[in-house]
């Protein structure tokens, strides 16, 4: 059973388009993180959201944590080929220090 469901799993778009990736769960998380992973490398942290309803922006990327702290979204405006990669959401349960990862969303941005 996957505690964190990401959608879509694959996304192929043209440069300049907007997109949203969703991360959903029936469980409450104390915080949620988004990572980006390139082929042959480990995931790299993009952002951590802690408060329900919190919105964080990182250049063209906007991250939102759901009010009930069960879901999150990543919105990319005017996607660039450099945004291509695997995007992973990960939730922290309580204060265990253990992250639970979603399956990931593979994004391809064509020039």
Partner 1 sequence: NAGVTQTPKFRVLKTGQSMTLLCAQDMNHEYMYWYRQDPGMGLRLIHYSVGEGTTAKGEVPDGYNVSRLKKQNFLLGLESAAPSQTSVYFCASSYLGQGYGYTFGSGTRLTVV
The residues that touch partner 1, with contacts defined as CB under 8 A, are 2, 4, 9, 30-31, 33, 35, 40-45, 48, 50, 88, 90, 92, 95, 97-104
Kindly state the smallest distance separating residue 104's Cβ from partner 1, in Å. 6
**C-beta closer to partner 1: residue 62 or 103:** 103
Kindly state the smallest distance separating residue 106's Cβ from partner 1, in Å. 10
**C-beta closer to partner 1: residue 60 or 98:** 98
Residue showing tokens 């391809």 = 108
Give the residue among 7, 14, 3 at the shortest CA–CA distance from 87.
7
Kindly state the smallest distance separating residue 88's Cβ from partner 1, in Å. 7
| SS3 assignment, position 26 | coil
**C-beta closer to partner 1: residue 44 or 58:** 44
> CB neighbours (10 Å) of residue 35?
20
Give the residue among 66, 64, 67 at the shortest CA–CA distance from 56.
64
Residue 72, Cα to own-chain centre: how many angstroms?
7
d(CA 11, CA 45): 20
Kindly state the smallest distance separating residue 24's Cβ from partner 1, in Å. 14
**C-beta closer to partner 1: residue 82 or 97:** 97
């Amino acid at each position: 059973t996957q505690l964190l469901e990401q959608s879509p799993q694959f996304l192929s778009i043209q440069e300049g388009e907007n997109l949203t990736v969703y991360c959903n769960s029936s469980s409450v998380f104390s915080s949620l993180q988004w990572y980006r992973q390139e082929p042959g490398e480990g995931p790299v942290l993009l952002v951590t959201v802690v408060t329900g309803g919190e919105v964080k922006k990182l250049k063209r990327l906007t991250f939102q944590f759901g009010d009930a702290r069960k879901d999150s979204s990543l919105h990319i405006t005017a996607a660039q080929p450099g945004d291509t990669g695997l995007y992973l959401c990960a939730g922290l349960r309580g204060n265990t220090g253990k992250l639970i990862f979603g399956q990931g969303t593979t994004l391809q941005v064509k020039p």
